[in-house]
Amino acid sequence: MSHYTANLRDIEFCLFDLLGREKVLGTSVYSDVDRDTAMGMLEEMKRLCENDLAASFIEGDRLGTTFDKSTGDVTVPASFKKSYDAYVNGEWWRLDAPVDLGGMKIPPSVRWAIAEMVLGSNPAIHIYASGYAFAQVAYVLGTPEQKQIAKLMVDRHWGATMQLTEPDAGSDVGAGRSKAVQQADGTWHITGTKRFITSGDADLYENIVHFVLARREGGGPGTKGLSLFLIPKFMFDHKTGDLGKRNGVYVTNVEHKMGLNVSSTCEMNLGEHEPAVGYLLGDV
């Protein structure tokens, strides 16, 4: 028996009796999703969460991740990988991906109703699947070349991280000391250490694009001097997505936590032994 039972009756009440979402469903940008369609999605997600996703929750928390310090690679239990694949193969990633790249436009309230069930069933699945939402960031804010990276992230189901926190710069983001130096070919080499990075690595996908805050050489102090860079785990062909050599961004430690152990919370090193090559988001 599953550890999780979704309260779909309560979700339906909140969406339609309290928030009146039927007023926007089936209209304008949501013309493809009426109330019946939304409820069908919610009912299917309830089934998936109570069975396929919940199936690996206990083992995932007990076993956690396996970290190979010699390679910087993190692996997850096979049972969790099966649950994650059920989510991806069911094409639920479309709810977060850019519409132009195969995503599906639904009201945020419906999206979060679906997320509530995933988070209640097996929260690490929702966390590891954030690559599609990060692809949205690259697609909206990126250069034409970076929009192609976003397309590869969606088409090839790559993962993503947000690397902000540093050993001496957590709440005080502007104190970050990671540095970026521009190269002759327009790329950047980033050096520094990041800490408490969610989904820093996992064997769930072939590549990961790290979204990293760093200060450009000559950049001013504080938060205004920071820029956002896209740093892939593996370099790749920008047309086909075929993987190349390993990039200089590595996991150096995985935190030991009191729970949510299958979600890798990592310390990351950039550029210590080889360049961590990155791309300045939007070239700004």
pLDDT tens-digit readout, 247-273: 999 999 999 999 999 999 999 999 998
- Compute φ and ψ for 128, nearest 5 degrees: -65, -25
pLDDT tens-digit readout, 68-111: 999 999 999 999 999 999 999 999 999 999 999 999 999 999 99
Cα–Cα nearest to 189, from 235, 218, 231: 231
- Compute φ and ψ for 254, nearest 5 degrees: -115, 125
Give me 35's structure tokens.
């109330």
CB–CB of 179/212 below 8 Å? no
Structural domains of the chain, with CATH? 8-128 (1.10.540), 157-283 (2.40.110.20)
The span from the first CA to the last CA of the chain, in angstroms, equals 52
Give me 206's structure tokens.
């072939």
Q: Tally helices (H) and strands (E) across the chain.
A: 8, 12
pLDDT by residue for the chain (284 residues), tens only, comes to 689 999 999 999 999 999 999 999 999 999 999 999 999 999 999 999 999 999 999 999 999 999 999 999 999 999 999 999 999 999 999 999 999 999 999 999 999 999 999 999 999 999 999 999 999 999 999 999 999 999 999 999 999 999 999 998 888 989 999 999 999 999 999 999 999 999 999 999 999 999 999 999 988 999 999 999 999 999 999 999 999 999 999 999 999 999 999 999 999 999 998 999 999 999 98
